[in-house]
Structure formats: C-alpha cells, structure tokens
Structure 1
C-alpha cells in the first residue's frame, strides 16, 4: 500500500481522525471483552518491538497505527550504522511504555516497501500515525535527537488523532493481547472506492462515492468527513494562492474572496487563521452574505472535526458574532 505523507504542522488528513477513532474504539471493545473473559487486554514489553514484512504490513503497521504511533526502522544486515541505531530504538520503544510501537523492516527482504517509502539508504526511520506515513530521520542520530523526535510524534498522535497508545503489562504473556478485527460494514465498498479515488487524485470520483453513501445514510460520520475534505481539496484546485490572498487583503468585505482565502488557510494547516477570517467576515456582513460565510465555516468545522479544541473555540466565537 502506498504510504501517504503527513505533516506535523499541516491540517489533518480527510478521514484519518475518524478512522483512528473508530479503530481505537474497536480495540478498546476487544480489550474490554478480553477483560470479561479473564484477560488483561495488555501487551507485554516484548511485543513493543516487532519484525514486519510485506505480507503483514497492513495488519501489523497500518491497522496498529490506529491505536498507537508505529515507528518503522528500515535496516539491513550489512549496514553498520543500523547496528548502532536499532538497539537504541528498541530500548526506547520499551522505555516509552506503549506510547510507540517499533516495527523493524529488513529492506533486503522487503524491496517493495523500501520503494514505496522512497528510501534511498539505510538506516531510515519513519512513523505511521492513523494510516499516514511520516518521515522522521535518515542516517545516524544521537539519542537526544531521537527522544525529541519521539516526544513530538507522541504529542501529535494524541492531540490530533486521539491515540493514547497501548497498555503494557510486564507480566503479560507475549501474544496475549487481542487484535481488533475491523468488521465489514454495508458501505465498505463505497468508502474503499472513495479512498482509492483520493489516492489517484480523482476528487470528483471520491466526492461521488461519499455522496452515494450519504444518499442512503445521511448521517454516516466517515462519509460526511470525507466529503467535506474532498470538496475542500476540489475547491482549492487550480487556485493561485498569491492572487487569492492579495484579493482577500484588498477586499476585506468581499465574501467570495474571504471564503477562498479561508479554504487555502485550512489546506495549508492554518486552522485558526481560517476560522478567524470567516468569523470576522460574519461580523462585517448580513443577510445572504453572512449566511454563506456561516455555512462555509460549518463545513470547515466538519473537516477539522467537532472534538478539536480549535473548532470548539471557534463555535463559541461564531455564536457571539451571530447573536
């Protein structure tokens, strides 16, 4: 599966947050069921470091990344720097006590994964968070730098994706933790079609696939979230950012100009700027213009997610501006 890029400073990916929350909920249910049957639902320290191959990548990395940030150590037997770095990563994985999972991948035995991640040399270290691939560093790194990188990764995973990691029990038997198996749903085919369309850059196809789901289930959360971001990406396609921002600066009361600039702000990861711009525009407008701005702001709330603190604060600000 081709990994996608994720920026720590950028806007969240379209369905990643929702998918992570759903997968996390399923994992918690599985652990709760294990507890009812007399198990702990915890992993042993030995299970915090795993060897992964191409056949198990989706199960062991992509699916697990909905519970915990998965750090990938790409290594090779002939690589001397790898022999220095890998033991440090393994020790830190245990020390972080379930806040990360370390996956070791031998590039000589898994050439396809090496190519998919665009790796030019080893050692190379990536992370996968809620299915999103993030390059961390390549080559040698001292322990302090690694710790700083892992601390930032853990913070982003928790703040933006709600991932709190795994429960570790030193007395747990390896292999005893339940694996949450995602249940097939009635809309899986349409949602998979939307994801494939997005990966191929076919925004129109993704939008139609999400609308097909919503035509039958208007409140489907993943389809609502996916449609909101796919439509946002479609709106900014072909925009000249410099021209849009200049027009917005020159015409603060122009609803169309402010809405376009807010879309660009959000896609660029400037969430507070996008919300603030539209709230100020609400304050300056009335009638149909004000309603158009309000509707777009609500759409952007859907993209970021209703539980995000920035959305909660902006909703309060919007209420004050309206009333």
Structure 2
C-alpha cells in the first residue's frame, strides 16, 4: 500500500475478534494485515471487507462475499476486518462508511464500493476486478516476461570497467555513441565514467583549501567533485552556486558549466537537482 495509504503506524493488536457471525476463516486484523492483504495481493487480488457486527446488512454482505469466494476456486482472496476492533486499518484505508469493500492488487487499492449491494452487483464488481488484474500478478496464471537480451556492447564496456580498464570502457561507450548518437544510456554511462575518473584523482584535502579561499576557482571545482563523490550533492551544488555568485566573466562561465555537468549525472526530477536549479536561476538573475 506504500504511496497510497500509510500503514506504518499500525500497532500489533490482540488476537482476531471472535464471536457469533465473525468470519473466522477470513478474519484479518492489524497483526496479519501485511501478510494476508499486502503481500498476498502480489499473487492474487485480495478483497478487503470492512464490516460491523452491529450492522446486519454488512454481516450479510460478508456472507455473500464468502459464498462467491468459495465458488471462484482461489482466483481471489477474501480478508474480512471487523471495523470497531481495527480502527487503525479503517483510518489508514480512509474508510468513510461501513460496510466498505476494497480490492487490493499488487499492494495497491484498485477499486472499492461502499454500502450493502445485492449479489448480482457484487458479482459484476468482482468480475471487473478479476478482468483488470488477469495475467498481471504472480499467482494468477500470468507468465513472467522474458528478460531482454543484454546488449553485448554494454556488456563489453562493463567488463572493461570491472577489469579496471577505464580507457577501454570509455572507448566502448564512445563507439556506441558513434553508431547511435542519441543513445541516452550510453551518454549517461559515459558522463558517470568521466566524472568518476576525474573525481577519484582529486585529493580530498582540497575541501579545506576551497573553504579557506572561496575565490580559488580550481579548488572550488575540485571540492565540488569530492563532495559529489562522497554522495553529498547538495553541498556540491551549493558550493558551485556560491562560486557563480562571486565570479564574473570566464570564471563564472566555467563554474556554471561544471554545475550543469553535475546536474546531468542525476535524473532531472530529483528534488536536490530541482532545488539547485532554482538557486542557480536566482544566482544568475
């Protein structure tokens, strides 16, 4: 359910509630919700029915779902949750009324309905859920897609890298780009390789030099590389943006060019890159 509802705050409750009318075979509580609903939904759709013993209509709806489940040969699972005893689940699923029925597939809510429904409508809803998930989950008869064959050109480049042949790996990526100038995978790999080659040759002591003399352009460029190599991109970006603010002419162009090169090592949508681009715009204008 990650990204859709947050169940991380659920505590481990007491054992599943019992009593007349409670569907013990399908009963689920906070203690086993992750196993019986989230994990199980990776294999088959799980229909979660939130009901109340005080609502005869919701109890009858659960009985209808149990009958349909028994006749469907394991193509979907049923998870029955007594609302009053599992309020954390009710809140996490943002349930507004009882009964509520929610279909979960692949760890995510797929469809739901609220209120008591006659069996034909429930059957129609279930069929729509099964049609929507057919062949897409691990345990419903779907077949795993064949893995794509590896591109031997990339394999050769990666093998060269593994053997420490940096020049050979760079030549392999350049050869790919000669054949396919717009191959984004090769472009990205080459950018990463060139950055690593440059950054790994820099003495980390340059950080102290750059901090002591912010006007030292070369030291600031090298220090930003070291910070990025140490997985501190925000520090690296801020250092270069500060350098841009303090310089002019060719020095400013050099700092800006290096910053843009470092941006290209990341996805454009990375929050740290988006934030740094805003700072850069402010520094320039």
TM-score, normalisation: structure 2 = 0.51
Matched, 1:201 2:143: no
Per the alignment, residue 247 of structure 1 pairs with: 209
- 1:122 is aligned to none
Question: How far apart are residue 179 of structure 1 and its match?
Answer: 2.9
> Against the structure 1 CA distance between its residues 261 and 167, is the aligned structure 2 distance closer, same or farther, given a 3 Å change threshold?
same
Aligned in 2, Cα 1:200/1:96: closer, same or farther, shift over 3 Å?
farther
Higher relative contact order (CA 8 A, sep 6+): 1
Partner of 1:258: 220
What's the TM-score, normalizing by structure 1? 0.45
Take 1:100 and 1:229, find their aligned partners in 2: how far apart are those partners? 35
Q: How does 1:183-222 map to 2 (within 5 A)?
A: 183-184=148-149, 188-222=151-185
- TM-aligned CA distance change 1:174 to 1:315, over 3 Å: same
SS at match of 2:281: helix
- 1:284 deviates by 1.1
SS in 2 for 1:219: coil
Tell me which structure has the larger Cα radius of gyration: 2
State whether structure 2 residue 50 is matched by structure 1 residue 97: no
Shift of 1:257: 0.7
Question: Structure 1: how far apart are the matches of 2:241 and 2:41?
Answer: 37
2:243 is the alignment partner of 1:301: no
The structure 1 residue matched to 2:139, chosen from 174, 185, 190, is: 174
Unpaired runs of at least 5, structure 2 = 1-32, 44-104, 111-128, 131-136
Distance 1:309 1:256 in 2: 27
2:246 aligned residue (284, 299, 315):
284
Q: Return the alpha-carbon distance in structure 2 between the equivalents of residues 213 and 190 of structure 1.
A: 7
Q: Distance in 1 between matches of 2:174 and 2:191?
A: 11
Instruction: Name structure 1 gaps, 5 residues minimum.
Output: 1-90, 102-164
Match of 2:3 in 1: none
Distance in 2 between residues matched to 1:173 and 1:99, nearest whole Å: 9
Give, in angstroms, the shift of residue 197 of structure 1. Answer: 2.2
Partner of 2:7: none
